[in-house]
Amino acid sequence: MRRSPDEPFTSELVRNKRVIVCCGAGGVGKTTTAAAIGLAAAMTGRRVLVLTIDPARRLAEAMSIPAGGAKPARVPAALLSGGGELSAWMLDPRVVFEGMVRRMSDSPERADRALSNKLYLALRDLIGGMQEYTAAEALHMFHVSGDYDLVVLDTPPSRNALEFLEAPRKLALFLDEKIIGVFLPHGGGGAGGLFWSRARGLVTSVFDRIFGEGFMGDLGAFLGGFSGMFSAMREHAESVRALLTGESASFLVVTSPDPAARTEARFLEDKLREMHLPFAGYVLNRSWAYTRGLTPPDTAGAPQTPDTASALRKLEALAAHESALAARDRDILQALKNGGQSEATATPHLGAAIEDFAGLTMLAEGLLDAHPDRD
């Protein structure tokens, strides 16, 4: 089905893709946009899961789901039109990671041992690092579960928002048997020979000096606890990558009119293209570019007071100011399209952060329906 010139490119994506990843700088409304993308897809009759990292409490409330559940929660069917299903889950890195260890471990005892290691327990609290590892893992897990037609991922609010893609690769590199062997007490099986014993000597002397004596021992026990799962984890990192680079996946870059956010959005586009990830286009959020249905203020019914004339003059000045902002933001939208080389669409302006499901629905309709971004 070809879309009309006024139909936003997001309309096609939410109907066809299996995975949509929303990237962008912090503060552009990425989480809300991810939720609206999910809702738009559900409105077309699909079964959708939105994975968020850091949802505003009010967003969870707007969707009538608990903020800290251990598994995805369904948005009440009464709120939805179109016969689809919408679920959402706030990603809990600990739940995802421990679930992964339990699935890949050859025995429950072994998993318990790995998960009660001293080093693991200390690192686990540093959620910042774990989010990147687990976002891609969760995406893959729910995608293959077969429970959803579409999984939407709101990327971690990291400055380099694509860190989550690099994380499994970094982990995979580190989990290279030869590399990991250097850290394991007995060379980890595959490693041997003079070269590796030298490498291990260097690493041990460096680590004992900097982290204090005995750290290598703790680290060895930590990695030893997870060994045997390494090749499974590495293969897994590969299949996550295959999923994200494939035809069924799509990356959206969310931005606001803010110059710093746009700089970062451009950077993300370049980075996505460079990493051969399917960049679909931009969503311009929190802008005034979307002008459908806007009218100048009707001042006919104003009460007659000594302040009426100055009040109406100031209101008209505000209206003129908003029109100027709309013109500026439509220029920004055109600039994002980059002479037709990229897709871009604007969302309706909701003022404050999203207040309720009606607000979310307005955003979703803006992503689905034909609307002229021009006057």
Partner 1 sequence: MKDIFDKRTVLVSGKGGVGKTTVAAAFSRAAAAAGKRVLATEVAYETDSPTPLADLLGVKHATDDPQRVSDNLSMALLTPHAGHLHFLRDALPMRMLADAAMKSAAIRRFLLAAPSLAEMGLLYRMLNLLRRTRSDGSFEFDVLVIDLPATGHALGLAQVPSAILKVITRGPVYDAVKDGLAMMRDPLRTGTLLVTLPETLPTSEAIELARGIATHHVPLAGIVVNRVPHNPFSPAERAVVDALALDPQRTLGARTLPRLDRARESLARIESELGRPPMILPEIIDEAQVEARVFAAITALAGAA
Q: Which of residues 82-121 bind partner 1 (CB under 8 A)?
A: 118-119
Show contacts with partner 1 in window 290-329 (CB under 8 A). 293-299, 301-303, 305-308, 310-312, 314-319, 321-323, 325
Strands 47-52 and 73-74: unpaired
Show contacts with partner 1 in window 239-258 (CB under 8 A). 256, 258
What are the residues whose beta carbons fall under 8 Å from the beta carbon of 66, sequence distance 6 or more?
60, 73
Q: Which is nearer to partner 1, 140 or 200 (CB)?
A: 200
Q: Which of 259, 339, 340, 341 binds partner 1 (CB under 8 A)?
A: 259
What are the residues whose beta carbons fall under 8 Å from the beta carbon of 257, sequence distance 6 or more?
284, 286, 287, 288, 289, 328, 329, 332
Show contacts with partner 1 in window 333-352 (CB under 8 A). 349-352
Among the listed residues 115, 92, 167, the one whose alpha carbon sits nearest the alpha carbon of residue 136 = 167
Shortest distance, position 213 Cβ to partner 1, whole Å: 7
**Structure token digits, residue 100:** 């992964």
Tell me if 283 sits within 8 A of 253, measured CB to CB: yes
Show contacts with partner 1 in window 25-84 (CB under 8 A). 25-28, 56, 58
Q: Which of 130, 283, 289, 344 binds partner 1 (CB under 8 A)?
A: 130
Q: Which is nearer to partner 1, 108 or 306 (CB)?
A: 306
Q: Does 275 bind partner 1 (CB under 8 A)?
A: no
Show contacts with partner 1 in window 204-233 (CB under 8 A). 206, 208-213, 215, 218
Binding mask 134-173 for partner 1 (x = CB under 8 A): ----------------------xxxxx--x------xx-x
Alpha-carbon torsion angle 101, 96, 46, 23, nearest 10:
-120
Among the listed residues 21, 16, 17, the one whose alpha carbon sits nearest the alpha carbon of residue 279 = 21
* β-bridge partners, 50: 88, 152
Q: How many residues bind partner 1 (CB under 8 A)?
A: 83
Tell me if 38 sits within 8 A of 49, measured CB to CB: yes
Q: Which is nearer to partner 1, 49 or 272 (CB)?
A: 272
Q: Which is nearer to partner 1, 174 or 370 (CB)?
A: 174
What are the residues whose beta carbons fall under 8 Å from the beta carbon of 64, sequence distance 6 or more?
75, 76, 79, 357
